[in-house]
Structure 1
Amino acid sequence: MARYSDVHRLFLQSLISRRFLSIKLAEKLYDRACEIVAAAEGTEPSRQPFEAALGQVGDALGPIGLEIRKLQDEGTKVIMMAIVNTKGDAIAQVATEFSPNEIAYFKLIVEVIMLAPSESFSVSSIAAIKESTNLPSKMTKTEAESTLNAFVSRGWLIKSQRGRYSLSTRSLMELQTYLKTEFVDEVLECSLCMEIVTKGIACPSARCKTRMHKHCYETYRAQGHKVCPSDCGASWNDIQPIPVGEDAVTERQDRGRARRRVEQEETMEAEAEEYDEPMEASQELEEEEEEPEASASPPPVQRKSRQQKVSQRSNASRYYDDEAEED
């Protein structure tokens, strides 16, 4: 093994300055580091194999709680890499970029995405904005939209052409431990590469747990395989696999939900206007009445278990992002 040299140090600095990048770019940065060090020393460039050099850099990061992770992008198929923190709260990784309230908002969005029904692992823009009302410090609609845009521009979320938000490759790499710990029952792993799946396919056979990334599925089929790799052994020639991710929600369903939300909001506004006048009169009468004696002790606080909270979050997601198809 080559000694840890100035080439490795310069290469590491270039990786840290970017933190999240493609493997192709990382290779170019490594080549450039070799050239710079050779020029400074007045020698011919000496190039250790890229993967070996990357491995040595990764070994140097271990003692300080960092590691290099690689993952193929579920959409572009480009292999990406990131230097990630292996210690502490993974969500705190975004602390240097956002305020505490914005980080709390990000956690809510991650939760709604992971609890999305039908394994869609995505949330509509309207539902995402609605989540801001659950924050300790409320955001305006404009502030919520601006914060969501920042999550996208800085690589933590992806927004599709349909306006749905999902986790980016960066989030899947940097928040991997957090996701597997907090969403044990929701995280899906590819049956081939064993990485987290949020966009891909599911075996159409009932009760089969096979899930794959689209690129893994395409590779599997290109190799001539015609049946599910699990024990179910279902033939995939006659039955199309079920989509996982945004494709699990049709555009028709999106349009139907948007229309229902507008109707619900208009109805609620109309009812509120009708309710205001009688309420004012009622309040005046109540002020004239004698106040009742306070009860001896307040009712006990009902604390929700984590399971109840998860169920509540899931139900809220379903209300704003209901997957039921229009009649």
Structure 2
Amino acid sequence: MTTIINAEALVLFSLSRKGIELRVLVYVDDLLMLTCLMLQRFKEYLGRCFAMKDLGKHKYFLGIEYSLDIVADTGNLGSKPALTPLEQNHKLAESKGPLLADPKKYRRLLGRLIYLLNTRPDLCYSIHILSQFMKSPREEHWQAALRVVRFLKGTPGQGIILKSDPDIPLTIYCDADWGACPLSRRSLSAFVVMLGGSPISWKTKKQKTVSHSSAEAEYRSMSTALREIKWIQRLLKDLGAEQTQPTRFFCDSKAAIHIAANPVFHERTKHIESSHSVRDAVKDGTIVTQHIRTESQIADILTKALGRATFQNLVSKLGIVNPHFPT
């Protein structure tokens, strides 16, 4: 029996014994069960131990009802939908406007949006930005948060389709925005992990130190993404889906890729504490780096607010769809 706990307070119990594969995902008082054999016997056993209700086959994790609840609770059901979650070239970090009279409503809304982020990677950058103002939100921050809600109004059923293809190669796209924070000049790191063409993990995070160049910022982002890849590879092995091929590592910085492939420490890179880990991963075959054009870098959607056309193009490449929309 293996127990895996992740940051979203989900607990996964895994059992592999004598040809039986059983997975039970637990969140508070809800269970999601997956097994090839003995599913009915296992449900009957749990029913004898606990008061349970079988809700049948799983249809969605977070769906249209939750998104519309957020829209309704903020009074935006009759508002015009926004085409992107955040205004391009925003200056929210430098806002000097009046403080929000009731900061609790801002914190409550952001908490609900953070939960929705479990299935909406297209909201990752906007929620990352807005979460920085939890302590003292201003009116401008509240209006920006309502813009995210209006974006949800236009895309309430949008989410991720997890494909059932037997071929499930692991790939990752990582990107960075150098000096993204106008106050600290720290860069943003972002990555998207794809399993068989479906996104399964994503993150936007401000780097801990100031990078001296865009190449350094990209290389630090590669290091952050590498840690995620190693964890997912171990997880897939526990689930019986071990990756036999190196993970393809897509980056749009040729300089960062060159640093990862060059075994020699130069004066410009010796201060980067993550140099060894990325180079070693390339050398031992854990990852194989590949350059990708910036316009095809889907992790770009996690590092900045984009215009409508670029945003919608990357959303489609990311594998985010609306299953309720007729094709």
TM-score when scaled to structure 1?
Answer: 0.25
Higher strand fraction: Structure 1 or Structure 2?
A: 2
TM-score when scaled to structure 2?
Answer: 0.25
Bigger relative contact order, structure 1 or 2 (CA pairs below 8 A, ≥6 apart): 2
